[in-house]
Amino acid sequence: MSIESLNDDLAQLERDVRALSQDTGRLVSNVTDRARTVEEEIVAAEFIATEETIENVSGWLAALSDIGTIQSEQLKIFFADHRQTLQALAQSRSPIDLLRLGYEHWSRRATHVAEGLGKTVGVLTKESRHMTRSAAEMWKPLIELVRGDWARR
């Protein structure tokens, strides 16, 4: 072992340490950039989630308001049906008229209840569809992020 080979070995070791230091600096910078990107994506996801939640809550409140309107409408129809039946009851003259009156009342009530139920189901279906779609959209960035992480592996 000569001094020259020892100096060459030390110089090579110094170059390797410098290269390793530079690589470590690039890796730290890369990790820092990725951490910043993840933080930005988290903030954006929180904003989107909050926005979607507010929209969904307002949608449900609107749906409840619509259902309340349907209920008050059904209550008015209920009293109108009974008033009409009582007026017809006062004018009935035979047992056949009473049977016909009972059938007509039952038929009107069944029709009106079915209409109210159909409207209520329509409101709930529309709002449920909207919430399902918005929930899927809300989670889409996270799913894409996870898929991207798995694709890189």
What's the pLDDT tens digit per position in 19-38?
A: 877 777 777 788 888 888 88
Percent of the chain at pLDDT above 90? 34
Q: At what angle do helices 95-152 and 3-91 cross, to 10 degrees?
A: 180
Tokens for 83, please give them: 């008033």
Evaluate whether 73 touches 116 at the Cβ level (below 8 Å): yes
List, for residues 36-86, the tens digit of each pLDDT value.
888 888 888 788 778 888 888 888 899 999 999 999 999 999 999 999 999
Tokens for 33, please give them: 């950039």
Q: How many structural domains comprise the chain?
A: 1
Domain extent, residue 130, equals 3-152
User: What is the separation, in whole angstroms, between the first and last Cα of the chain?
Assistant: 46
**Mean pLDDT for all residues in the chain:** 85
